[in-house]
Structure 1
């Protein structure tokens, strides 16, 4: 069985909800800083010391990296790389600031762009974090960092990932990077990443 570390899992699971991580082939270790979501590992993505070196074949991170301060970003990506085995991969999703900025420039700053599990998402929510959730005291929903196409790929490269691909999907950037090398059986991103059964479970081939 292959192991995927689901970083910032909240209450979600990815195995069995994404074609990239089919049930029966993958087992999932859920990591979150919030013990109330009952993760397997309680830890910050900038210090995942409870997870041994080279113990995972994949790291899955959806809408987490934008919550870090810029100086923390490389700490987290270095941790992702550390826990991967040689040939293992990172599959990560972040908001696309370029598309959000384009909508703001058109005067659509507070116009809902799409619906999420937390309600409608506007361009300003993409930039600053989901403001309705933040107003309710969920300050961890604030965005402290942001990405455009080139900067996301550049951050993965700076951390030491190889075989990097970045594609746009809806209002997100989806990145794929490997540790040391890409296995022949390793996934590749499609130009358009299909939606999966759950909001945090995108897919690749």
Structure 2
């Protein structure tokens, strides 16, 4: 079994980009900074990371509004509620897939801080349309390229 907080199979600076979709919330909270540092370690100097995960602030608002068990949206795995976004997809866990449990969560502020602490030169974080966060973390070379690139 692979572990995103141990990417020792990869050498330093060997990857152009990393796409992490709904994975960081599945590792323990203390492993997140380690995983982000590993992502940064294996990225090239002009590389980037794109991550997405549930937005705890948006999900919390559903809970505050009394909609914790209401269907928030439909996914290929079935209906998703606020409780699924906080704790992991309950139906999958019930059906014997404990890896679907969520062990931590993210807000825009927290994710930006974690990316900065992991050593990314710049980050951009946006709220998505499905109660999710989308973030890009840029390595120093990518940040320099963006500052000098002619945009049309």
With the length of structure 2 as denominator, give the TM-score of the two structures: 0.91
Pick 1 or 2: higher relative contact order, CA cutoff 8 A, min separation 6.
Answer: 2
Unaligned residue ranges in structure 2 (runs of 5+): 148-152
SS at match of 1:46: coil
1:52-94 Cα distance to aligned partner (Å, 9 max, x none): 2111110110000001111100110011001100011010001
Q: Secondary structure at the match of 1:184?
A: helix
Count of matched residue pairs: 145
2:124 counterpart residue number: 165
Aligned to 1:91: 50
Distance 1:165 1:141 in 2: 27
Higher helix content, 1 or 2 = 2
Q: 1:73 maps to what in 2?
A: 32
Moved over 2 A (4+): 183-186
Partner of residue 142, structure 1:
101
**C-alpha RMSD of the superposition:** 1.3
How many angstroms apart in 1 are the aligned matches of 2:56 and 2:122? Answer: 23
Q: Distance in 1 between matches of 2:4 and 2:65?
A: 35
Deviations 1:146-183 (A, max 9, x none): 01110011111111111210000021111111122315
Aligned to 2:18: 59
Runs of at least 5 residues in structure 1 that lack an aligned partner in the other structure: 1-32, 34-42, 187-205
Tell me the TM-score normalized by structure 1: 0.68
